[in-house]
Amino acid sequence: MERFKGVLVSDFYAAYDSVPCPQQKYLIHLRRDINEDLNKNPFDQESKGIAERLLRMAGIEDTPASQNWLANPAATSADGR
């Protein structure tokens, strides 16, 4: 890996953190984790606000799937369907 010059795209498995290169995490994994948190705490407005900001940053806040996900995360799978 010492000659690797790209960006490592991975899930949130901690072992990847030790690789000395730029990294990007899978957005779908983050969305899944946020979805689980919203399902556990459906009235937590702070978590809902964070989810809304993340969707805006990803440029997907105005899609029907994202609106459904924010309104009722239990009704939507992690991949937005």
What tens digit of pLDDT does each residue of 14-27 get? 898 888 889 988 87
> Does residue 1 sit within a domain?
no
Residue 80: pLDDT over 50: no
What pLDDT is attached to residue 7? 92
Cβ contact 17:32 at 8 Å: no
Residue 81 lies in a domain: no
> Residue 2: which residues within 8 A CB-CB, separation 6 or more?
none
Tell the burial category of 4 from Cβ atoms under 10 Å away from its Cβ (0-12, 13-18, 19+): exposed
**Domain annotation covers residue 2:** no
pLDDT tens, 55-70? 777 766 555 555 555 5
Is residue 73 within 8 Å of residue 35, measured between CB atoms? yes
Domain range enclosing 56: 8-75
Instruction: Report if residue 39 sits inside a domain.
Output: yes
- How many separate domains does the chain show? 1
